[in-house]
């Protein structure tokens, strides 16, 4: 009988996996065991095809592609947004593919942060992704506030996770906007967006979320929850490709609110080419677009999203939870005692985390991460002491999780990490 720690169990889980067939529709890097889809998702055949089609249309149609491409470029941002809408529980015109995440934070926070009287602060948290914090500080400065005084960063009790109670306690009558991550990029903790939205609204505070680390791994229900706005990138769990265009969501009750930062692609579609000097916003999330959509950085999404939709976000979530739970179970059994000395830094309850697991180690985490790369295991290191592993439902297997833990055991048994220096790559 196979014990829970044996490879045979992983193989049995793979045989029973209803999404097993999706793996062969992705290009898996040769000789690598890729567990980094939370940082950059892999290319699928579908994404390659829709991107190649756009290149061919540019070659063959030139400017006529805006209206005559198979999927006309002029409507690509709206159409791809509509395609992504079911993944976040939104209506088709509440989501648009545009800009990039940090740019979209500027576009939406400038609209939704409307300080008045006593209410002049933005509430965020100290474990936030740095780019988000830079943008929030800029928006405070642009509104004539003092970022040091007016950006409220909810502290973490353990340095890894946030307690929603601590966030809610800071939703005072001085807060004009809450902007929070759906999931923390280091520990992978998933925040209770429904509860945070309810509590913010109870206090008259609009709330937005950066869902870069959860869309494509976890179902969202923005409309049901009443979220005001959200942003997320397309190159992590959505497999859109490096730097591909990102998404934004605006709840339709805000369609009457004009964007603060405008550009001609936010105009009413029918009249954009009238070239009027008067900005007439398109009555949908599309009005927060600024520039022409980068067709070559957007075209991959059609094929990539089709795969996610075909697999189904609920099945993706179920498999993702099973994969991360399996990793936690193996880590507990094989990696937490001396000399391995790892700690599981992600929440233990699967419903409280997104699609990756963070393992922490007081010493040598960076060199161990380098040794993993040396063996072809692509995970990543986040300073000071975390290695992140994202077994992705669409293309990873339980056997790969088992192999990864086996690699870690061997790297430490053989002190293999000592062959690696402590210097960090520019992109770790």
Ligand X SMILES: *Cc1c(COP(=O)(O)O)cnc(C)c1O
Cite the active site residues.
129, 210, 235-236, 388
CB of 288 to ligand X, least distance (A): 15
E strands, 39-146, where?
95-97, 121-125
The span of 29-37, 127-135, 326-334, 403-411 binding ligand X (CB under 6 A) equals: 127-135
Over the window 33 to 62, marking each residue x when it contacts ligand X by CB under 6 A and - when it does not, the resulting string is: ------------------------------
191 within 8 A of 182, measured Cβ to Cβ: yes
Residue 232 contacts residue 212 (beta carbons within 8 Å) = yes
Q: Are strands 95-97 and 247-250 parallel, antiparallel or unpaired?
A: antiparallel
Q: Which of 57, 132, 150, 380 binds ligand X (CB under 6 A)?
A: 132
> Phi/psi at 96 (nearest 5 deg)?
-140, 150
What is the CA angle 373-217-344, rounded to 5?
55
Is residue 130 within 8 Å of 284, Cβ to Cβ?
no
Q: How many CB atoms lie within 10 A of CB 428?
A: 13
Half-sphere exposure of 173 (CA within 13 A, CB side): 2
Rg over CA atoms, the chain:
22
CB-wise, 164 or 280, nearer to ligand X?
A: 164
Distance CA 244, CA 402 (A): 32
Query: With binding defined as CB under 6 A, does residue 230 bind ligand X?
Result: no
Residue closer to ligand X by CB (options 190, 246) is 246
Q: Tell me, by CB under 6 A, how many residues bind ligand X.
A: 13
- 129 lies in the binding site for ligand X (CB under 6 A): yes
Cα 20 to Cα 14: distance, rounded to the nearest angstrom: 7
| Residues numbered 270-299 forming contacts with ligand X, rule: CB under 6 A | none
Binding of residue 131 to ligand X (CB under 6 A): yes
- Return the residues of window 91-120 that contact ligand X according to CB under 6 A: 100-102
The verdict on 180 binding ligand X (CB under 6 A) reads no
Counting contacts by CB under 6 A, is residue 23 touching ligand X? Answer: no
Site string for ligand X, 64-83 (x = CB under 6 A): --------------------
Least distance (Å) from ligand X to the CB of residue 132? 5
C-beta closer to ligand X: residue 167 or 371: 167
Least distance (Å) from ligand X to the CB of residue 196? 16
Specify the DSSP class assigned to residue 376. T
DSSP lists the bridge partners of residue 207 as: 178
Residue 196 or 335: which CB sits closer to ligand X? Answer: 196
- In the complex, the smallest distance separating the C-beta of residue 291 from ligand X, rounded to whole angstroms, is 15
Residue 229 contacts ligand X per CB under 6 A: no
Out of 37, 46, 86, 181, which residue is the one contacting ligand X (CB under 6 A)? 181
How, if at all, do strands 380-382 and 386-389 pair? antiparallel
| Spatial distance between the Cα atoms of 57 and 9, rounded to a whole number of angstroms | 48
DSSP lists the bridge partners of residue 95 as 249
Tell me the window of 206-214, 313-321, 355-363, 372-380 that interacts with ligand X (CB under 6 A): 206-214
Nearer to ligand X, 188 or 259 (CB): 188
Task: For the CB of residue 70, give the shortest distance to ligand X in the complex, in Å.
Answer: 28
The SS3 assignment for 321 reads: helix
Closest distance of CB 101 from ligand X, Å: 4
- Window 231 to 260, contacts with ligand X (CB under 6 A): 233, 246
197-to-57, 128, 281, 351 alpha-carbon distances in Å: 43, 18, 27, 18
Q: Minimal distance in Å, beta carbon 100 to ligand X?
A: 4
Q: Which x/- pattern, by CB under 6 A, does the window 207-226 give for ligand X?
A: ---x-xx-------------
Report the nearest approach of ligand X to the CB of residue 264 (Å): 22
CA distance 61 to 423: 49
Task: For ligand X, give the closer residue by CB, 212 or 390.
Answer: 212
| Coil/strand/helix, residue 328 | helix
Nearer to ligand X, 200 or 233 (CB): 233
Pick 22 or 212: Cβ nearer ligand X: 212
* Residue 185 near ligand X by CB under 6 A: yes
Give the up-direction half-sphere exposure of residue 233: CA atoms within 13 A in the CB hemisphere: 25
Question: SS3 of 183, please?
Answer: strand
What distance in Å separates the CA atoms of residue 272 and residue 363, rounded to the nearest whole number? 58
Site residues, ligand X (CB under 6 A): 100-102, 129, 131-132, 181, 185, 210, 212-213, 233, 246
């Amino acid at each position: 009988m196979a014990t829970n720690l044996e490879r045979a169990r992983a193989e049995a889980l793979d045989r029973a996996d209803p999404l097993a067939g999706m793996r062969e529709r992705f290009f898996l890097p040769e000789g690598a065991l890729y567990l980094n889809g939370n940082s950059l998702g892999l290319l699928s055949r579908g994404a390659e095809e829709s991107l190649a089609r756009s290149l061919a249309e540019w070659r063959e149609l030139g400017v006529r592609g805006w209206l005559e491409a198979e999927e006309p470029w002029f409507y690509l941002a709206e159409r791809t947004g509509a395609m992504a809408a079911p993944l976040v529980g939104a209506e088709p015109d509440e989501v648009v593919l545009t800009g990039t995440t940090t740019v979209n934070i500027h576009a939406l926070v400038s609209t939704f942060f409307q300080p008045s009287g006593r209410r002049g602060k933005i509430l965020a948290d100290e474990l936030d992704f740095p780019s988000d914090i830079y943008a929030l500080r800029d928006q405070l400065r642009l509104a004539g506030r003092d970022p040091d005084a007016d950006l409220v960063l909810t502290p973490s009790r353990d340095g890894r996770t946030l307690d929603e109670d601590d966030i809610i306690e800071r939703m005072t009558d001085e807060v004009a906007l809450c902007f929070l991550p759906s999931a923390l990029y280091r520990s992978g903790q998933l925040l209770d967006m429904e509860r945070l939205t309810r509590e913010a609204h109870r206090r008259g505070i609009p709330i937005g979320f950066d869902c870069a680390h959860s869309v494509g791994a976890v179902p969202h229900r923005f409309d049901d929850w009443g979220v005001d706005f959200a942003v997320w990138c397309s190159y992590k769990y959505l497999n859109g490709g490096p730097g591909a265009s990102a998404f934004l969501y605006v709840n339709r009750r805000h369609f009457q609110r004009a964007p603060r930062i405008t550009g001609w692609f936010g105009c009413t579609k029918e009249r954009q080419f009238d070239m009027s000097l008067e900005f007439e916003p398109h009555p949908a999330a599309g009005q927060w677009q600024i520039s022409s959509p980068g067709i070559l950085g957007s075209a991959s999404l059609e094929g990539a999203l089709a795969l996610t939709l075909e697999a189904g976000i609920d099945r993706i979530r179920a498999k993702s939870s099973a994969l991360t739970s399996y990793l936690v179970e193996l880590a507990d059994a094989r990696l937490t005692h001396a000399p391995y000395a790892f700690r599981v830094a992600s929440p233990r309850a699967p419903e409280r985390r997104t699609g990756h697991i963070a393992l922490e180690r007081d010493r040598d985490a960076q060199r161990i991460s380098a040794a993993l790369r040396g063996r072809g295991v692509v995970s990543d290191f986040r300073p000071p002491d975390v290695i992140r592993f994202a077994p992705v439902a669409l293309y990873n297997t339980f056997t790969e999780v088992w192999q990864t833990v086996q690699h870690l055991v061997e790297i430490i048994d053989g002190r293999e990490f000592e062959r690696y220096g402590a210097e960090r790559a520019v992109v770790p």
